[in-house]
């Protein structure tokens, strides 16, 4: 038995906001959810079909364009996703963090690979931070926008705080070696 299946809940969470096509769901993953969850279209499209069979969602197409299939949460789907959002999270995630892993194995504080690792990581984190801040400016520059999608605002702020913390830590340790 594999790990617990989360993808359908993610998809229903997305559909809480608005009806979507498969493409639009994938865009959500690419732009907003990618920071803390990821998937690929080869998982999403079959999942959408399964979910429709289970009556969690239903599909329709607009008159002028019967190519695009839009998906819509059913009342039953609403129940399911709302129940799921109620359940508290019961353990912290373990990210598979190659940076920590490699650092862990280097015992000598003067090993040149340590400096290399840190400098690369600083590049990565800076780049990510930049992107997150731009995203925050674009989406949440007004209080109204914040109130509209408060959860989204929160996790974006959280991601920024986390990366700021990591960057400060990296630079501190790099300088005080």
Partner DNA sequence: ATGTGCATGTAATGGGTTACATGATTTA
Partner DNA sequence: TAAATCATGTAACCCATTACATGCACAT
Q: Classify residue 19 as left (phi > 0), alpha (psi -120 to 50) or beta.
A: beta
Single residue of 23, 55, 120, 158 touching DNA by CB under 7 A: 23
Which listed residue (53, 63, 64, 67) binds DNA by CB under 7 A?
A: 67
Tell me which residues touch a second copy (CB under 8 A).
6, 10, 13-14, 16-17, 32-38, 81, 84-86, 88-109, 113-114, 116-117, 120-121, 124-125, 128, 147-152, 154-155, 157-159, 161-162, 165-166, 169, 173
d(CA 148, CA 37): 22
Three-state secondary-structure class, residue 68: strand
Closer residue to DNA in complex, CB, 2/88: 2
Answer for which of 41, 116, 119, 120 binds DNA (CB under 7 A) is 41
* β-bridge mates for residue 151, sequence order: none
Q: Vertex 93, ends 158 and 51: CA angle to 5°?
A: 95
Choice between 93 and 151, CB closer to DNA: 93
Torsion over CA: 47, 14, 129, 177 (sign): negative
Report, in Å, the least distance between residue 4 CB and DNA: 8
Q: Tokens 């009806």, residue?
A: 19
């Amino acid at each position: 038995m594999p790990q617990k299946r989360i993808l359908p809940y993610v998809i229903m969470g997305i559909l809480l906001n608005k009806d979507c096509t498969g493409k639009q769901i994938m865009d959500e993953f690419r732009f907003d959810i990618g920071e803390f969850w990821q998937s690929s279209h080869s998982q999403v499209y079959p999942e959408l079909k399964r979910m429709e069979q289970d009556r969690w969602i239903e599909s329709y197409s607009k008159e002028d364009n019967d190519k695009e299939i839009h998906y819509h949460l059913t009342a039953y789907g609403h129940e399911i996703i709302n129940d799921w959002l109620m359940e508290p999270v019961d353990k912290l995630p373990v990210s598979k963090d190659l940076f920590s892993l490699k650092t862990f194995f280097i015992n000598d504080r003067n090993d040149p690979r340590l400096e290399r690792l840190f400098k690369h990581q600083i590049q990565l984190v800076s780049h990510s931070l930049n992107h997150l801040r731009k995203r925050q400016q674009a989406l949440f520059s007004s209080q109204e926008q914040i109130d509209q999608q408060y959860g989204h605002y929160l996790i974006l702020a959280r991601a920024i705080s986390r990366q700021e913390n990591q960057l400060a830590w990296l630079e501190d340790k790099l300088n005080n070696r």
